[in-house]
Amino acid sequence: MLFKYLLQLADNQLILSQRLSELCGHGPALEQDIAITNISLDLIGQARLLFQYATKHDDQKRNEDQLALVRPENEYRNVLLVEQPNVDFAHVIVRQYFYDEFNFLNYSALVNSKDEELAAIATKSLMEVKYHLRFSRNWMLRLGDGTAISNQKMQDAIDDLWAYPGELFEMTADEQVLAKAGVAVDVSTLQENWKEAVLATLQEATLAIPEGTWHQTGGKKGIHSEYMGHILAEMQFLQRAYPNQTW
Amino acid sequence: MTTIEQVYEILSKVTDPEIPVLTLDDLGVIRDVNVISDDEVEVKITLTYSGCPATDVMAGDIRAALFVAGFTKINITHVISPAWTTDWLSPKGREKLKKYGIAPPAATLSLQEAIVECPQCGSKQTKIISEFGSTSCKALFQCENCLEPFDYFKCHR
C-alpha cells in the first residue's frame, strides 16, 4: 500500500520532469531555458528519492531504474495534468503553476508524516518546490498582466488546463487508509487552499477564472491520456532496447 | 589503524566537482565517518539539491581518495535528514566562494530583499538577472556599480 503511494508521488515528479526536459535547448530565452531545465532536474531528483525508498517496499525487488523506466503505462499513477503537452510557454507556465501550488501544499503537509523517511524526503523537496512556485507564480503575473497577446495566450492555456487540477485532490482507497494512519496526506483537504491561492494569482494577473467545475480524471487509476504513450516511448526506449544499461 | 581524524583529513582534500574551491567539508555534506577496520570504512554524505548531478561524482571522488589511502571496502551511504541547507556552509567556505567570484548566500530566501555583495568590487548595489543559474545552487546577479555579472550561491533552507 505504501509502495503504491510512493510510486504515485514519484510518478508525478518523474513525468513532469520528463515533460520539462523536452524543453532543454528550446526555452523561449536563455534564462527561462535554464530555469525550466533546473526545475526538471530538481523534480527528477525528488522522484529518485521516492523511487529509492519504494524499492525497499517492492515485492518484486525491482531497482530504481526498473521502477522508473520499465513499468507498463497502466502502472503509472501520475495525474493527467503533468502529462499534458508543452504547446507553448503559456501552457508550460500554467501547468507548472497549477502543479507547484499543489506540490507546495502537499509537501508542506507531508513533512508531518508518521513515516520518518517520507517526512525527510518531503522536508528536503519542499525547499526546492518553494523556489519553483515563486518562479511559476511570477510568470503567471508577468504574462497575465503583460501585453494583450501574452494575456490572451495565458487565458487560453488556463482554459485548456482547467479541467485537470481537480484530480490532484481525489483520494484513492489506499490513500484514505494511509491518511488515516497519518502516513499519507489527505489531499482532499488541500483543495480549498489551492483554490484560494490560484484564484488570488489569477485575479492579480488580470486573468479570468474559468466557469467550468467538471474535471477530467483517470491518471491516479492508471488510465492516461493519449500523450502518455508518447512520453513513455521516449523515456523508456533505452532501458527497453538495452535492458539494465547504466551511465 | 587509520583513525577517524585521518579519514577526515583525507576527505578534507576532496573538492566539489562544480565549485572546485570548496571542499566537501566546506560545503557541509559529510555527515559521519566510521572506521570499521584497516581496510573498511563507512562515510555518510548528504545531498545538496536533490537533483544535483555532482552528487554521484562526489561519492566517486571520496571512494577514490579513500582507496588511495588503503581502504578497499568503502561504504558510502546517503542520508537526507537533517536536510542540507546553505546554513551548513562553513564560514571558511563562504570566504572561499567570495574570493572565487561567487557571492555567498545571504540571510534571506527573497532574491529581492537579499543584500548580495558584488564579489568583484564589494558594492551592495546589485540586481538579480536570472533566478536560475549554471547549477542548481546558483542564481545570476549583476553589479550596478562595476557592471560585472556574477554568480550568487542562493540561500536555500
Q: Note whether residue B53 is domain-resident.
A: yes
pLDDT at A72: 96
Chain B residues with at least one Cβ partner in A under 8 Å: 47, 49-53, 80-81, 83-85, 109, 129-134, 136, 140, 154, 156-157
**CA pair distance A119, A71, nearest whole angstrom:** 26
Strand pairing partners for B44? Answer: B32, B77
Question: Is residue B77 located within the same domain as residue B110?
Answer: no
User: Which domain range does residue B26 map to?
Assistant: 4-84
Whether the bond between B91 and the residue before it is cis, its omega within 30 degrees of 0, is: no
A170 vs A178: CA distance, rounded Å? 14
Tens digits of residue pLDDT in A93-115? 999 999 999 999 999 999 999 99
Check whether residue B18 and residue B71 sit in a common domain: yes
Q: Which fold has domain A2-241?
A: Ferritin (1.20.1260)
Mean pLDDT of A180-206: 98
Mean pLDDT, residues A204-232: 96
**What is the side-by-side order of every strand in the sheet holding B73-79?**
B30-35, B40-46, B73-79
**Domain boundary assignment for chain A:** 2-241
State how far the Cα of A34 lies from the Cα of B133, in Å rounded to an integer: 7
Check whether residue B9 and residue B77 sit in a common domain.
yes
> Does B49 map to a domain?
yes
Number of domains in chain B: 2
Along the 157 residues of chain B, how does pLDDT read in single tens digits?
Answer: 788 999 999 999 999 999 999 999 999 999 999 999 999 999 999 999 999 888 889 999 999 999 999 999 999 999 999 999 999 999 999 999 999 999 999 988 888 888 999 999 999 999 999 999 988 899 999 999 999 999 999 999 9
Quote the minimal CA–CA distance from B137 to chain A in Å. Answer: 10
Residues B65 and B105 in one domain: no
Q: Which of A35, A42, A44 shows the shortest C-beta gap to B131? A: A35
Q: Rounded to whole angstroms, how far apart are CA atoms A197 and A203?
A: 10
3-state secondary structure of B48: coil
* This prediction's pTM: 0.94
DSSP collapsed to 3 states, A157-218: HHHHHCCCHHHHHCCCHHHHHHHHCCCCCCHHHHHHHHHHHHHHHHHHCCCCCCCCCCCCCC
Return d(Cα A13, Cα A82) in angstroms, integer: 8
Cell of B139: 542564481
Instruction: Identify whether B89 is part of a domain.
Output: no
Q: Would residue B91 count as lying in a domain?
A: no
What value of ipTM does the predicted structure carry?
0.91
Residue A16 has pLDDT above 80, yes or no: yes
Query: Residue B56 is inside which H or E element, if any?
Result: helix B54-68
Amino acid at A129: V
Q: Which residues of B touch A119 (CB under 8 A)?
A: 81
CA distance B117 to B119: 6
DSSP classification of residue A138: H
The terminus-to-terminus CA distance of chain B in angstroms comes to: 39
- Give the model's pLDDT for residue B50: 92
CA of B50 to nearest chain A CA: how many angstroms apart? 4
Domain co-membership, B114 together with B74:
no
Contact A98, A169 (CB under 8 A): no
Task: With CB atoms and an 8 Å threshold, state whether B51 touches A134.
Answer: no
Question: What is residue A37's predicted lDDT score, i.e. its pLDDT?
Answer: 95
CB–CB contact A127 B156 (8 Å): yes
Q: Does residue B82 have a cis bond before it (omega within 30 degrees)?
A: yes
